[in-house]
Structure 1
Amino acid sequence: MTKATIVQWRKGELYETLCLLLIGAGIWFVGITLGSFDVLHEAVQSYRLGDFMILGACMGVAICGASIRKSILMRRLMLERDAAAANAEAIARHDGLTGLANRRRFLEEIERVRGQLSTELSAVLLIDLDRFKPVNDLYGHAAGNAVLCAVAERLTALLPPGGVAARLGGDEFALLVPLSHGSEGLTRLAQGVISSIAAPINWSQNELKVGATVGVAAVSPDYIDADAILHAADLAMYQGKKEGRGTYRFFRSAMDEELRARARLEAELRTAIEQGAIEPFYQPVVALPDKQIVGLEVLARWRHPERGLVSPTEFIPVAEETGMIAELSYNLIRRACIDARDWPAHLILAVNIAPHQFQDVWLAERILAILTETGFPPGRLEVEITESALIQDLEATRATLTSLQRLGVRIALDDFGTGYSSLYHLRELKFDKLKIDRSYVDAITMSDERAKLVDAIIKLGSSLGLATTAEGIETDASVEWLSDQGCDFGQGYLFGRAMPKSEMDDVLAAVASGKLPAATIAPEAVPREAIITLARAS
């Protein structure tokens, strides 16, 4: 109660008491007037004394009534307060939408169980819904709430005796269950949870479908507190998400170290991007069959202060998952354009753009800004897009590619044969080049089936007016076969590994002087000292 409420209540109490006293005085006055108290006058043998006694009695009855009323009101207020406190406590410990326990109560239950480990073993199942966001986006929050309530009902139905089901927040649920049947029982329960949640949910004449990934951790005294146990289950769940979703994983101590290593990598990568420690390397692209350099593909390399040169396979996926890929890509393109300005004007600079960057409606403008800033001609730039970008948002990708082509930028479809592109995509998006994935090129001289597939891709490109580039060429036999089939360009270790600008400068200078034949441009074919000597001599 606030101070104002107390003052108001006390004023009301005083008013009611005064009213009761006036009622008592009125009863006395009426009784005196009607002679109702004559018998009492005779008993006390004093009219004045009798009047005072009667008045006092009436006032006493009034005060007694006021006290009784006050007691009743106080009792009622106490009951209401206790009910409100109990209701507030229930709300504070339960999820308002599903009625399950909330995170606070769930952690309390884990702590309670930790104190009973000598007599009872338990485990935590952390459940994260898969494909829940599309349901919200497509059908609205009402449908999302219906899914959450249905999931809560299904988890409650699966809950063994003595267990606790909770909604921790968003689309994340948890179960605390006794280990009455050991790890086999936990496995069956986890499988049952995944199967139950995967069943369609009927809502407003629609079938809503979601999935679940489950992480399992045993309640153990080895953990500092309940939060640590929940964190262990979360790590196991995250591992399941990484390995394909719709599955369950038990916590292993190695998972914690893996997560810490990932966190360190993300922090170091962010710093490396900010400080420009990720630099462009260049791999030659040659014309077939004469092997003359016609272009250079830009490949990212990270000069790590402790680990040395880090391969892009280690950090590019992390950059894509964390949203750092855009800044990394634009930095590389800017530096590559500056590097390539002084190279021969016929050399094409090929850059890779991450699939989700094509959903950025300003991508073409950002690339144009870089070209304008560096003074690099748009006609010398080739943007490579992977097939996975085509299925994310075809119309957005089409708009971005069209904008780039209007600038004069060339477009190549990278890693062709490994994704989802179709003849429709090739016709509608008007690519300039197809790049045949190295997984096909590696085996063309050893597998007739792969050779036929590569031959078909080359002929498909030719029929559509598209140039073809074969990636991953490592032998002269592959070059000869690809040239015979009509492949236009080649790229691979046979012609040169990716190298920094300083080495590429030396190679290009030596080739331009005629002292280093194009067929021997690979750094491993000619010692770096010889390249430098030839370049200086020219």
Structure 2
Amino acid sequence: MAKRGSWGEGEFYEALCLLMTGACLWIIGAQFHVFEELNAFVTRYGLSDQFMLLALMGFAMFVASLRKSLLLRSALRERDAAARHAESIARHDVLTGLANRRLFLESVERRRAEAGQTPAHAVLLVDLDRFKPVNDIYGHAAGNAVLCAVAERLRGLTPSTGLAARLGGDEFSVLVPLEGGSEGLVRLAQSAIAAISAPVLWNGNELKVGATIGIALISAETVDADAVLHAADLAMYQGKKDGRGTYRVFKSAMDLELKARAQLEIELREAIQRGEIEPFYQPVVSLPEKTLIGVEVLARWRHPTRGLLAPAAFIGIAEETGMISDLSYRLLRQACLDAREWPGDLQIAINISPQQFQDRWLCERILGILTETGLSPRRLEVEITETALVQDLEAARTTLTSLQNLGVRIALDDFGTGYSSLYHLRELKFDKLKIDRSYVDTITMSEERAKLVDAIIKLSASLGLVTTAEGIETDASVDWLSGQGCDFGQGYLFGAPMPKEALTALLQAPSDHGMESVAPRKVA
């Protein structure tokens, strides 16, 4: 079959057909005397038949050329439409239909080039909170539904002269004019947080996420569009540090803080290698006897210039940079070596981070450390948070079962602050629940908190689990927890985290250190 648009085949054939059609019309016209009046006019020149034949065939060629022109114009229009569509795809997010990073940066750059000394536009960088658990628990289809809902809500809040974009993953951004000044910008940020926090209905489920927003103003002093986004990102990061679900406006001090953090990261990496991160031990006692039965291993950094640093100063950095595994395994190894000098039934508990829990060789690594140090697995308790479980429940089940088969006890840490506590209690077998300190420190002052703690203790007992209450600081809390059936306690009332030497001295000293007996006993 001839290809349309090729004069060598298709169009030559069509032109020939049109010429033949013209010839046929001439024959028909001559046969039925259609051209007689015209013949009378042209006969004097003796060109009647030839003239009519050429005229009709010329008309046919004109029709062919006109058709070719129309087809060409149609093809050009289709090409332009396809080009516009391709350009639109290249500048818009396929899932949400919002502008993508490329288009957003181009728009910000245009506003930066037009900016004067007084900022006229601002960028809001929106990062979703609690989005990963939605993906992990309900699947990517649910995650996509949330992203589309967030995009639609941001589109509705964006002024007609602004631009909403999805930069990638669960990160969005909005370019807006400062028409209402700083107050209008604050109202927009608050409205965006409120809108995004509203539940998204999906397959009968209410999917809930939040948002943290970083704001950066665009001025003539701004280097480029990337610098604007970087500033907004720093402000957003500050909002995350301050508790999420809020907004922060970029200040130059944030950049200085980021540089200080980068320096601390370098120092932390070196400190881990030099062994400057060491284990401290906080007593865990039985209730109501207050008998010392174990310790929790807590990291402390003996910084050469900043002194002794608590975990809050560096654990977050270690987790974000992937140094947490090396740090934790070194702590565990040292703690196992220290525990060999203490009574044989004194337990040690150590927290395993969510990042470590994704290591398929976690169980083998822990077993290797126990074998190397000679510590019995029955003296070790591994504490995990629910964040470590939601990423891959089946992998978590396999790892926990393997550890328990070795004799290692498993505790669910910070119970009551996670995503789906009851679900995990049903699906996984734990040995202990640790009640988060945020509940414990208010039980004597808040009736609602007291009821919650009482419910957790009863739930734990019904499942055959023991409970440890963290953050105990008063005798009144001890009496209340003991009365409700809590098994163990931990907090400054019984002792602050201490180095190995202090704990060794405590174990060897007479029982006048705030506990009735320092001779540890095996946990029932």
Normalising by structure 2, report the TM-score.
Answer: 0.70
Q: 1:189 to 1:74 in 2, by over 3 A?
A: same
Larger Rg: 1
Aligned to 1:192: 191
Per the TM alignment, residue 433 of structure 1 is displaced from its structure 2 partner at its CA by: 8.5
Letter in 1 for 2:85: N
1:112-191 residue pairs with structure 2 within 5 A? 112-118=110-116, 121-136=120-135, 143-191=142-190
Pick which of 398-407 and 366-375 moved more.
398-407
Aligned to 1:477: none
Aligned to 1:317: 316
Letter in 2 for 1:77: A
Per the TM alignment, residue 283 of structure 1 is displaced from its structure 2 partner at its CA by: 5.0
CA distance, structure 1, for counterparts of residue 208 and residue 284 of structure 2: 50
Letter in 1 for 2:16: L
Give SS of 1:115's match: helix
CA distance, structure 1, for counterparts of residue 309 and residue 366 of structure 2: 26
Cα deviation, 1:265-305, whole Å, max 9, x if unaligned, reads 446545655x46455446596999xxx99977654345668
- Please say if 1:418 is aligned against 2:468: no
- Please say if 1:14 is aligned against 2:12: yes
Aligned to 1:483: none
Letter in 1 for 2:330: N
CA distance, structure 1, for counterparts of residue 88 and residue 123 of structure 2: 22
**Any stretches of 5+ residues in structure 2 without a counterpart?**
412-431, 440-452, 514-524
Pick which of 245-254 and 107-116 moved more.
107-116
Per the TM alignment, residue 183 of structure 1 is displaced from its structure 2 partner at its CA by: 0.9
Q: 1:261 to 1:424 in 2, by over 3 A?
A: farther
Aligned to 2:99: 101
1:224-239 residue pairs with structure 2 within 5 A? 224-239=223-238
Per the TM alignment, residue 27 of structure 1 is displaced from its structure 2 partner at its CA by: 4.6
Aligned to 2:72: 74
Paired residues of 1:414 and 1:434 also in contact (CA < 8 A): yes
Letter in 1 for 2:461: R
Give SS of 2:17's match: helix
Per the TM alignment, residue 400 of structure 1 is displaced from its structure 2 partner at its CA by: 7.1
CA distance, structure 2, for counterparts of residue 287 and residue 171 of structure 1: 44
CA distance, structure 2, for counterparts of residue 258 and residue 268 of structure 1: 15
User: Identity of paired residues, percent?
Assistant: 52
Give SS of 1:337's match: helix
Q: 1:423 to 1:105 in 2, by over 3 A?
A: same
Count of residue pairs brought into register by the alignment: 464
Which fold has the larger relative contact order, with Cα–Cα distance below 8 Å and residues 6 or more apart in sequence? 2
Paired residues of 2:92 and 2:103 also in contact (CA < 8 A): yes
Paired residues of 1:113 and 1:120 also in contact (CA < 8 A): no
Give SS of 2:331's match: helix
Cα deviation, 1:40-93, whole Å, max 9, x if unaligned, reads 884335xxx766555544443333222222112111212222222223333333
Aligned to 2:219: 220
Cα deviation, 1:220-270, whole Å, max 9, x if unaligned, reads 122211222122222222222222222221111222233344345446545
Paired residues of 1:269 and 1:315 also in contact (CA < 8 A): yes
Aligned to 1:247: 246
Give SS of 2:124's match: strand
CA distance, structure 2, for counterparts of residue 195 and residue 282 of structure 1: 42
Q: 1:150 to 1:92 in 2, by over 3 A?
A: same
Paired residues of 2:437 and 2:469 also in contact (CA < 8 A): no
Paired residues of 1:24 and 1:58 also in contact (CA < 8 A): yes
- Work out which of the residue numbers 470, 475, 486 in structure 2 matches 1:451: 475
Q: 1:383 to 1:16 in 2, by over 3 A?
A: same
**Any stretches of 5+ residues in structure 1 without a counterpart?**
441-449, 474-489, 523-538
Paired residues of 2:3 and 2:9 also in contact (CA < 8 A): no
Per the TM alignment, residue 430 of structure 1 is displaced from its structure 2 partner at its CA by: 6.1
Paired residues of 1:382 and 1:410 also in contact (CA < 8 A): yes
